[in-house]
Structure 1
Amino acid sequence: MYCLQGRVFFNVQKNISIPKVQPVRHFWEYVNMMFNKPDPERIKLLGPDRACAEWVLRNGGKVVWSNGKVLEDYNLLPPESQSVPKVVVIDGTDSSISHYGFSHLSGCTKLEKIILHNNKYIDDRAMKGLSYGLATLTSVQVSECANVRDAGLKEIKALKNLQTLILFKLLSVSDLDECKQYLQSQLPKCKILGNISNDN
């Protein structure tokens, strides 16, 4: 510090180090994890189909029961004392379901179809997570999921019972045609389509 004509000045060290902010888990990623994370005790208590339906509905998706009824409102689930039908279809369109919850598919013995459309939380880890349903899944749609890449898409090869696979508008997939060809070679009995209204 020094004085000049009544003014006080301070020497500023040029090499002052400012501590860097340590990276932390993004808040919304943490929230998503908590909304998707399975509860083993609840699955054991209420059964895999009820727990799976709760997971999907809690994250904005909908389910189709084995009796043909569609449910998209979490608050309309029957009381816990009442049994539920089997889950046949999971529609994750515009939802926030993510790979954190895909283990809910285990034990859903009638699950046939999953639609993953326009979901920013679906990524390569979710593609790998589809294998939790490999015993029963016959139809899968992955579309407008911007975080799915080529390597992730190819993980679908594990679904050996797949009969129909719909893939389109996957912006992070660099070569969708090559991915389709690869999956066709791994799943020769599966029909692989683009957009049904505009097959691309």
Structure 2
Amino acid sequence: MLLLNKLPRITQLLARDPKDQRGIWGYVAVAFNQVDAERLSKVGANRLCAEWIIKNGGGVRFVESPSRLWKDYNSLPGENTQFCIKVVDASNSSIMKIGLEHLKDCRSIDTVIFHNCKHLENDGLEGLHHISSSLQRLQVSGCYNITDSGLAVIGELKNLRQLLIFDMIFVKNMEAVAASLKKQLPSCDIKATKMGLTLKPKE
């Protein structure tokens, strides 16, 4: 929280140069995505992962309360309350590849939504291997840094049952990507289109 207290002063100093402002916000995005080892040892993997997603603008659902989407950091259960994350909804968040290290040891995540994640790099999906044993449903949409090669890693997620890909304007050959993934994931229902929304995933 100390970093947040400093932000107004820092941005005021950089206000005359838009390039510097972009740089400081990029630094903040990286800071908010790094795993805090000390915090991890104190609160455990699931809580730290929830805090990471929420601090970056996303939300989570718990196994214990799947109908509720938690998006407010201050409303999270107390640190002594144990919970397991079921759904990661990173829509419109500032998550980055390094942040996906938070998924390690979160063994109950079965659904992940990456929608409009502008900071997620082309190789950002590689971090999903941490939850490959539990992940069944995945949406990747509006993540404009991700190309054909970035989507290819999805083929390693052998337990996927539903895959939704849309609005990926820098994917050159979506048909080829979808065909390759279908070959690797024959039991997965794959809906993929370069532009537009084709299917709304279930809540």
The answer to whether 1:57 aligns with 2:54 is yes
1:131 to 2:129 alignment: yes
Find the partner of 1:192 among 171, 181, 190: 190
CA–CA separation in structure 2 for the residues paired with 1:129 and 1:26:
25
Residue in 2 that maps onto 1:150: 148
CA distance in 2, matches of 1:83, 1:43: 15
TM-score computed with the length of structure 1 as normaliser = 0.82
* Residues 1:113 and 1:197: Cα distance change in structure 2 (over 3 Å): closer
| Counterpart residue number, 1:179 | 177
Preserved CA contact (<8 Å) 2:191 2:199: no
Structure 2 partner of 1:75: 74
Where do 5+ consecutive residues of structure 2 fail to align? Answer: 1-21
Match of 1:40, as an amino acid?
A
- Aligned residue for 1:124, secondary structure, equals coil
1:108 has 2:106 as partner: yes
Q: Residues 166 and 198 of structure 2 are in contact (CA less than 8 Å); yes or no, is this contact kept in structure 1?
A: no
1:8 is aligned to none
- How far residue 26 of structure 1 moved from its aligned partner, in angstroms, is 3.8
- The number of residue pairs the alignment matches comes to 173
CA distance in 1, matches of 2:154, 2:26: 24
Tell me whether 1:42 sits opposite 2:39 in the alignment: yes
The TM-score normalised by the length of structure 2 is 0.81
User: Structure 1: which 5+ residue stretches go unaligned?
Assistant: 1-24
- TM-aligned CA distance change 1:84 to 1:70, over 3 Å: farther
Match of 2:120 among 122, 132, 141: 122
Whole-angstrom CA distance in 2 between matches of 1:54 and 1:87: 11
Task: Report sequence identity in percent.
Answer: 36
Question: Is the 8 Å Cα contact of residues 123 and 149 (structure 1) preserved in structure 2?
Answer: no
Larger helix fraction of residues: 2
* 2:83 corresponding residue in structure 1: 85
Q: Which string of whole-angstrom CA distances, capped at 9 and with x for unpartnered residues, describes residues 22-70 of structure 1?
A: xxx9433322110010112221221110000000000000000112232
